[in-house]
Amino acid sequence: MTAMGARLQTPRAFLDRHQSLSILLGAIAVTLILPVVVLLPPFSGFGTQKDFVFGFADAGVYVLLALGLNVVVGFAGLLDLGYAAFFAIGAYTYAYGASNFTGLFVPFWIMLPVGAFVAAIFGLLLGAPTLRLRGDYLAIVTLGFGEIVPVVFLNAETYTNGTNGITGIAQPSWYGIFGVNGFGFTNPWPYFISIVAIIAIVMMLLYRLQDSRLGRAWVAIREDELAAASMGINTVTTKLLAFSIGASTAGLAGVFFSAKLSSVTPDQFGFTVSFTALAMVVLGGMGNIWGVTAGAFIIYEIQSQGLKQLQGFIDSLGIPAFTLGPITIDLASINFLNYQYLLYGLALVLMMLLRPEGLFPSRRRVRELHEATPDDDAIVTPADDI
Amino acid sequence: MTTAAAAEPQAARAPITLGRWGTPIGLAIALVVGYLLMVIGAGAQGQEQFINALTIGGIYALIALGYTMVYGIIELINFAHGDVFMVGSFVSWWLLTTMGFSGPINDPVVLTVVLVIAFVVSMGVMGVVGVVIERLAYRPLRNAPRLAPLITAIGVSFILQNIIFVGISNSIVPSPQIIPNPLLTIGPIEIRLINLFVIVLAVALMVALHLFISRTSLGRAMRSTAIDREAAQIMGVNINWTIAMTFFIGSALAGAAGVVQGLYFGVTVFNIGFQAGLKAFTAAVLGGIGNTTGAAIGGFVIGFIEVLAAVYGYGRWSEAAVFSTLVLVLIFRPTGILGQQLADRA
């Protein structure tokens, strides 16, 4: 009775302790609530429910990317600027495994782990020589890697079909469960439900990793690599694991992405993808699984829906062009979508200056980022005076 | 910096093992090898390609100097540096088109005056931009975890790119090539005026920088700040001013490279800074980061790698070649070809 009473009194504590259950409940809630919310104004005016649900499935890809990048950047404190490369590798893996290009048609559900595995292997291959270097060198090497991978997919035409990419990639299938065979192009629901399920599983695994010996080792390395090494942590292996686990999540996202789009081309995996994922992690709160998930979803929706609606809203107001001294401002002529990356850039800088722990911070990260080390008490970090 | 940049006291300072003449001799050998490779690959056009490589290398070297100076003094990879170069090319584009030039200026006096204006204004503006970036985005994070300024730098890079993207143009902009293009014959060498100009300018700026860092009191302040910031502060060096000036000089050099970009290639675009910055960073690492001489040499090496890749028919792979070089250098000789100035605990 008392145990039950305690649970009932603090459901929050209960859910904190049973993260897998909370994730499951969260996933169910998202599946049930989001499609209903978009039927209500003002969202109902922005598009049909079907369009929204398709959009949620696309957002799910970015949520996966952000979750994976969060392992590298948030947990282990390594800056990976070429994360889109692993996304590309996952996408091309599925393209090879299930299209006319190779003639193979391996089921989607088998290719999911295969894509993750291949991406993880590439993570190891890139990480093994470079993770010995200090963090900022790693950032630049990953940046270079992120540039090379699309170039390889573009130039190795014999194997990748160059600019045109690989098309006619097989659809996923549920093999008759819920009456759905092939997912098709018109029905968004199987994609939406699948990606929510994939995200939920990834989140559960990541939560378990975060609280494991490995997760604690990541935090130790992030906060002080030298101290971690002297406590007996093999820093190279630990960082390598963060790198390849992060890569494998991007691989999952890549498989889903190419299956949903049914084609892959090299230009889909440029630096802007890596940058967007980084912005999602930073804004969501580095190291916080729930925060990053929410951050990625919100940013994706702002980018895909918000700016477009803002554009439509401003256009509908029909404000005439006005003149401020030498500058003429014509709001109707502004394409807000162009400002997307400018806003991300500003958001990254402002977040790091004012709220480095993100919008939804993890408690540990707050402590770490706001803790003054004894010898720099002369330096006031912006957050200290809060 | 040329003589030192070991930020951590325990970091070993590599002695210069090649001796006083080691670097010039090595350079001479490298140039001969580069020339032979060009001639083997391009035949009759070998010399032209050789000069082309030197010119492109000069541009990379100018950008690389800013990277290496900033890294040497505050150990930050200033990702926005490539974009400072890009904005510099737009400042020069704006100046030259507003002054009404669109093609070669044949009057040498007018040409000189216009060039001086373009370089002074572009370098000045970019220097100030560099200082402002440092003040607003990096200084508040000087004692934050290392990840924080890196992320800020990426943010600044995107801000600069997208200001140009939304404010000026989202596609390639033709920039006036005001230097006439006669083929000069100097002894056995045939060289176009623009190439000669770029190479001479790049070398002159490097020499000036070298003299500045090794001979002036501000240069000495920079070197001492790079070695040990706190000790320098105790000795009366104004750290904030010194770091700001480092940004000013580095960004001004990138601004000069931006002007050269417009003059030599005749085009600029909002996203050139990204690739150029990566290559210049590779150059800086190649030369041993924190080492200005190394960065200059590294810039030329990158120029050669890129042109050689094109000469041997792998032009589309030149970027991949450059980044592979970066990865290989970092794996096998993270201290760079000249021996490092900034020891790394690997």
Domain-located, residue B80: yes
Q: How many residue pairs bridge chain A and chain B with CB atoms within 8 Å of each other?
A: 140
Average pLDDT of the residues in A196-210: 92
If pLDDT is split at 50, 70 and 90, which confidence band does A377 have? very low
Query: What pLDDT digit, counting tens, does each position of A246-289 carry?
Result: 999 999 999 999 999 888 999 889 888 998 899 889 888 888 88
Cβ pair A269, A87 in contact under 8 A? yes
Q: What span, in angstroms and rounded, lies between the C-alpha atoms of A167 and B76?
A: 42
Q: Residue B292 and residue B299: Cα distance in Å, rounded?
A: 11
Q: Read off the pLDDT of each residue in B154-163 and give the average, rounded to a whole number.
A: 92
Residue found by looking up tokens 């895909």 in the block:
A304
Count of domains for chain B: 1
Biggest distance spanned by C-alpha atoms of chain B: 60
Query: Is B244 among the domain residues?
Result: yes
- B residues 13..72 contacting A (CB < 8 A): none
Who among B142, B154, B327 is closest to A141 (CB)?
A: B327
Q: What is the pLDDT of residue B241?
A: 93
DSSP calls for A319-372: PPPEEETTEEE-GGG--GGGGHHHHHHHHHHHHHHH-TT-SS--HHHHHHHHPP
* Residue A155 or A325, more confident: A155
pLDDT at position A220, please?
Answer: 92
What pLDDT, on the 0 to 100 scale, is given for residue A302? Answer: 84
Q: Dihedral angle at the C-alpha atoms of A88, A203, A237, A140, nearest 10 degrees?
A: 40
pLDDT of A123 > 70? The answer is yes
Kindly list the residues from chain B whose CB atom is less than 8 angstroms away from the CB atom of residue A135: 146-147, 150
Instruction: Note whether B237 and B225 are within 8 A (CB).
Output: yes
CATH number of the domain within which B169 lies:
1.10.3470
- Say if residue B15's pLDDT is above 50: no
Which residue among A79, A154, A373 places its CB closest to the CB of B150?
A79
Given this model, what pLDDT does residue B21 score? Answer: 64
Round the average pLDDT of chain A to a whole number and report it.
82
CB-nearest to B143 from A151, A154, A376 is A376
Tell me how far apart the alpha carbons of residues B199 and A146 are, in angstroms, rounded to a whole number: 32
Report the pLDDT averaged over residues B28-55. 82
Q: Kindly give the pairing relationship between strand A322-324 and strand A327-329.
A: antiparallel
Residue A42 has pLDDT above 80, yes or no: no
Instruction: Examine the pLDDT at B342 and tell me if it is beyond 50.
Output: no
* Span A139-148, pLDDT tens digits: 888 888 888 8
**pLDDT at position B143 over 50:** yes
Question: B135: burial class by Cβ within 10 Å (0-12, 13-18, 19+)?
Answer: middle
Nearest residue of A to residue B343 by CA position?
A134
Question: Looking at the domain assignment, is residue B52 inside a domain?
Answer: yes
Is B135 part of a structural domain of the chain?
yes
Lowest mean pLDDT, pick from A169-183, A342-356, B73-87, B137-151: A169-183
Q: Which residue has the higher pLDDT, A358 or A272?
A: A272
Average pLDDT over residues A77-99: 91
Out of A37-51, A217-231, B154-168, B222-236, pick the least confident.
A37-51
**pLDDT, tens digit (0-9, with 9 covering 90-100), for A220-229:** 998 888 899 9
B346 touches chain A (CB under 8 A): yes
CA distance, residue B151 to nearest chain A CA (Å): 7
Q: pTM (2 decimals)?
A: 0.83
Least confident of A124-133, B19-28, B132-141, B328-337: B19-28
Q: What is the mean pLDDT of residues B147-164?
A: 90
> Residue B29: inside a domain, yes or no?
yes
Chain A 328-367, CB below 8 Å of chain B: which residues? 338-339, 341-342, 344-349, 352-353, 356
Indicate whether B315 belongs to any domain: yes
Domains of chain A: 1-37 (no CATH), 38-385 (1.10.3470)
The Cα–Cα gap between A69 and A286 comes to 9
Amino acid at A145: F
Is B338 a domain residue? no
Q: Is B21 helix (H, G, I), strand (E, B) or coil?
A: coil
pLDDT, average across residues A24-36:
84
| B264 vs B176: CA distance, rounded Å | 9
Q: Would residue B246 count as lying in a domain? A: yes
Reference A223, options A318, B126, A127, A215; nearest CA is A215
How distant is the alpha carbon of residue B12 from its chain centre? Answer: 27
> Considering CB atoms only, which of A154, A348, A353 is closest to B154?
A348
- Residue located via tokens 């490092």: B340
Tell me the C-alpha distance between B255 and B337, whole Å.
Answer: 27
Please, which residues 106-165 of chain B have a Cβ atom closer than 8 Å to chain A? 136-137, 140-152, 154-159, 161-163, 165
Mind listing the pLDDT tens digit for each residue in B104-128? 888 889 999 999 999 999 999 999 9
**Structure-block tokens of residue A103:** 């003639």
Domain extent for B309 = 22-332
| Confidence tier at B290 by pLDDT (50, 70, 90) | confident
